[in-house]
Amino acid sequence: MKIYFAGPLFTPYVRTYISQQAEVLRQHGIDPFVPHESFRPVVSAETAQMLVKRGLIDAAQAAGPDLPRLVDELTWDSKVSRAELGLSQLTPEEIFRRDYEGLSSADAVLALLDGSQTDDGTACEIGIFYGLMRQDPGKKGVVGLMTDFRGINRADHGFGTNLFVWGVIEECGVLVGSFEEALAQLKAWDTP
């Protein structure tokens, strides 16, 4: 089963968390589209050498398997520009096009809802997927995952989620307060 892993991917620690959980999903036979991983570049040997010369990575990293992720993180942190890597500029149109491809081809969505509100990009993706589900009964649903204690403390009130977003998730899936519960729901949907 393909899923789209939505969440606020603006900081290195959220990206790390999402990537780690994506790995757990893969171990359970679930195939997650992880937006920030989809932008990882193919790094040529020349580019790797240039980054070593500039002291942004070391020689071992340049030769290691983690190179695409490291280079991608450098672009997120503006340590090196996409232009310097010979990559096209990521416009909102391009980001939307790529993510929409992952979203529309997914069977389900796992949405990380943490933050003082649901991240607006994540909320938009939940809405798009709900709309797609109305046209395609083969799609399974949305799991809203809250790990933010401000939400966990309000588990009985939709985990403190915006009433409309809560309503949409209730309509097409579930809200849960732990990754284990999210995984259990996704596995249940994955069972033929």
Judged by CB under 8 A, the chain residues 75 through 114 that form the site for other proteins are: 90-97, 99-100
CB of 115 to other proteins, least distance (A): 9
CB of 185 to other proteins, least distance (A): 18
**Tokens coding 22:** 């994506």
Q: How many residues sit in the footprint of other proteins (CB under 8 A)?
A: 39
CB of 103 to other proteins, least distance (A): 9
From 72, 107, 114, 125, residue interacting with other proteins (rule: CB under 8 A): 125
- In angstroms, rounded to a whole number, what is the distance separating the alpha carbons of residues 145 and 123? 12
x-or-dash string of contact with other proteins, 23-42, rule CB under 8 A: --------------------
Binding site for other proteins (CB under 8 A): 90-97, 99-100, 117-132, 134-135, 158, 161-168, 170-171
